[in-house]
Amino acid sequence: MKKNRLTAMVLAGILMVSMAGCAGEKNTAADDAAAAQGSQTETRDGTVSKILWEFAGDLAPQEGMKTNKGTAGMLSGISNGYVVVGGGANFPEDGPALGGAKKSYPDIYVLKQEDGQLVEVNHTTLDHEISYGVSITTDDGIYYVGGSTAEGKGNQVLLVKADDAGEITVDTVGELPFTFSDGFAALKDQVLYVGAGKMDGQATNRVVSLDLKTKKTTELAAMPNEATRTQCVSQLFGIVKKSAV
């Protein structure tokens, strides 16, 4: 199984980081050469843009582990110029088909870009494991919503920050009235919008808002679909306010 690899994608001058933790054989020289050439896509105005993927390094093993086999459902974001990733879950022994147990991790990695590589400047741990929450990068830091199987932690909203030296601080800035994972979350004007995924361990189509200033939770209109497993992405473009005429 591959190590948890850091892959950097440069698109229109924006550096994006993807955590690849899938099983499979190592790339051949031909595969690497093809990847280095990038792939071309045609935009709406007919111009061609190129996406270039580059190998940027490996994550160190989690604390107490000999190897890092790759993890899913990680915290990820940017804080103070650092790439911050961590947590996630995998099957460290046997896979699920063989009865293996899934394990989540508390590890947090702070990475800095140097000469085309992502170099570890700090590897620390939270006081509990996290996985399958939602990460939101803001100017204040990285908000991490839900995403923990630890007792009393799965409903928390955390704010993760890196200082100038790459040291991490973690503050609890809110609490949802349910545990939350596998859904979507977006933040605007210190109001957090959360929905779908699992609430209290059950699939849902509910959508709620949490005001991080007043700590008030408001039930919003549910998503127009059955309460079932969802794979979500979210982008908050703005709030339309109705006014009386």
Closest CA to 153 of 171, 175, 137, 186: 175
Closest CA to 7 of 116, 104, 99: 116
User: What would the pLDDT profile of 5-55 be if each residue is shown by its tens digit?
Assistant: 554 433 222 333 333 333 333 444 544 454 444 455 556 676 667 778 888
Is residue 209 pLDDT above 60, yes or no? yes
Residue owning tokens 């620390």: 124
Is residue 84 pLDDT above 50, yes or no? yes
Quick one: pLDDT at residue 112?
A: 97
Question: Which of helix, strand or coil describes residue 177?
Answer: coil
Name the phi and psi angles at 137, rounded to 5: -85, 130
Strands 184-188 and 180-181: unpaired
pTM of the model: 0.78
* Cβ atoms of 216 and 193 closer than 8 Å: no
User: What would the pLDDT profile of 143-181 be if each residue is shown by its tens digit?
Assistant: 999 999 899 999 999 999 999 999 999 999 999 999 999
Q: Above pLDDT 70, what percent of the chain?
A: 75
* Cβ atoms of 22 and 2 closer than 8 Å: yes
Q: Where are the domains of the chain?
A: 5-34+50-175, 178-238
45: buried, middle or exposed (CB in 10 Å: 19+, 13-18, 0-12)? exposed
